Structure 1
Amino acid sequence: MPTWGDWVQVADGAPVTVPRDAAREAAREELLKPEYHRHDPSLLQRLSNWLWDQLDKLLGQLGSAASNGNTGLILFLVIAVLIGAALWWRLGRPGRAATTTGTLFSAEGPRTAEQHRAAAGRHAVEGDFAAAVREQMRALVRSLEERTLLDPRPGRTADEAAAEAGRQLPAHAEALREAARLFDDIAFGERTADQRGYQQLADLDALLRRTRPAALTPAGAR
């Protein structure tokens, strides 16, 4: 004899019975529809909630283990690591904001693009790719200044140079932005330089040098 849960009312009011397993499967499929889950927390949010839950539990354990010096110290160190990881994840890498404020050229006297290229090549041969990247980016920007595509300006940052050069060379705007980002990350951030990064800048420098001046608009002709 069917139970109350097996009765289903049809459109004309006549009751019919539905097998218990079929009803359960239909309900499961219905609940799997996306409209029932559009407000569910994301994977990152669930991970964040789990991390803070673990931190809360550790704080509770720390209070009960305060009488045991060794246990309390271990829990304190674990909590410190979790807090540091959480702040790193939430706020991002410290010092990244400073990468957009450093100037491109040093305080020493002006040097030609060829001098910067020669210095970059020497650093690359010696395996000092951080210095090679810095000099190669300076060579690229100095070359644009020598060709009057950029106005010489002391204190210019790599990001500013890339933005200004990108307006003159729109076909290479994205490559210039990537070059400035690479320079900033290596010169002022924590990114490790390698031969690939140096070669990326050297190739872009060579590409811009091969661009026909007739197809470009001088900086003073705007």
Structure 2
Amino acid sequence: MSRLLAGVPVAPDRARGREWLARELAGPEYREAQGSWLARAWEWLQDWLSQVRVPGLGTSWTGVVVVVLLLAAVVAVVLLVGGPVRRSARQREPGAVFDAAPEPARAHFARADAAAAAGDWDLAVAERFRGLVRSLEERTLVDPRPGSTAGELAARAATSLPGCAEGLTRAARTFDDVRYGGRSAGAGTDGDLREVVRAVAATRPAVSA
């Protein structure tokens, strides 16, 4: 935008004014809003600019262009600040643990081990947690419910394995952070999840009174 302002002539004509405005609104900071309210606003501005007359300026568009560019700067700030916030909110929202047909726990654990050996810690963590959930379902400690989130599954499993509640909650949070929160896992992350898997496998379910 500073380049546009620096290069504004004393009295740009109507066609030049439209060209500057179109070039400004075509910038990458506005692409996310294309097809939405910004596109409608652009159409409205085109209609307005084709009719407006600035008193004292005759056919000069300098004042109009400067005002429009200042408004564009405000829109850019809103998009640049609001965009990351919206993306962050979407990233934090957890989704389902399984996105494919159910498989045995051993299949998930095998993929987790292979991913860990290859240094793909994100995949290792995701598959290890899925293997943990499937092992709980195979032990009939958790009812299979398509679409369940990691937190929901951990909460249900904790009713049968109260001694593992903390580890299950931590494992579910790790899965969500890596799978949906954009966090990168590492060897330590996978190692902690391995410990939870071992603890759950070694724990007998609580007996209802």
TM range (shorter): 0.5 to 0.7
1:173 is aligned, of 165, 189, 194, to: 165
Structure-1-length-normalised TM-score: 0.54
Q: Once the two structures are superposed, what CA deviation does each residue of 1:37-58 show, in whole Å capped at 9, x if it has no partner?
A: xxxxxxxxxxxxxxxxxxxxxx
Please state if 1:93 is matched with 2:88. yes
**Which residue of structure 1 lines up, in the alignment, with residue 37 of structure 2?**
none
CA RMSD of aligned residues (A): 3.2
Q: Distance in 2 between matches of 1:210 and 1:194?
A: 25
| Unpaired stretches in structure 2, ≥5 consecutive residues | 1-61
Q: Distance in 2 between matches of 1:77 and 1:197?
A: 44
Structure-2-length-normalised TM-score: 0.57
Alignment partner of 1:132: what SS? helix
Shift of 1:113: 1.3
Shift of 1:191: 1.0
Please say if residues 112 and 124 of structure 2, whose CA atoms lie closer than 8 Å, have aligned partners that are also in contact. yes
Please state if 1:115 is matched with 2:107. yes
Residues 186 and 77 (structure 1 numbering): CA distance in 2 closer, same or farther, change over 3 Å? farther
Letter in 1 for 2:206: T
Please state if 1:201 is matched with 2:201. no
Shift of 1:202: 1.2
Q: Distance in 2 between matches of 1:136 and 1:162?
A: 14
Pairs aligned (count) = 148
Higher radius of gyration, 1 or 2: 1
Tell which has more relative contact order, 1 or 2 (C-alpha 8 A, sep 6+).
2
**Which residue of structure 2 lines up, in the alignment, with residue 103 of structure 1?**
96
Shift of 1:82: 6.2
Letter in 1 for 2:130: R
Shift of 1:81: 7.9
Letter in 1 for 2:139: R
**Which residue of structure 2 lines up, in the alignment, with residue 217 of structure 1?**
206
Shift of 1:80: 7.2
Letter in 2 for 1:187: R
Residues 80 and 105 (structure 1 numbering): CA distance in 2 closer, same or farther, change over 3 Å? same
Q: Distance in 2 between matches of 1:90 and 1:147?
A: 41
Shift of 1:94: 3.2
Aligned identity (percent) is: 38
Shift of 1:88: 7.5
Letter in 2 for 1:217: A
Alignment partner of 1:164: what SS? helix
Shift of 1:171: 2.4
Please say if residues 104 and 138 of structure 1, whose CA atoms lie closer than 8 Å, have aligned partners that are also in contact. yes
Q: Distance in 2 between matches of 1:111 and 1:77?
A: 52
> Segments of 4+ in structure 1 off by > 3 A?
75-92
Residues 210 and 77 (structure 1 numbering): CA distance in 2 closer, same or farther, change over 3 Å? farther
How do residues 24-103 of structure 1 correspond to structure 2 at under 5 angstroms?
Answer: 83=78, 87=82, 93-99=88-94, 102-103=95-96
Q: Distance in 1 between matches of 2:107 and 2:80?
A: 44
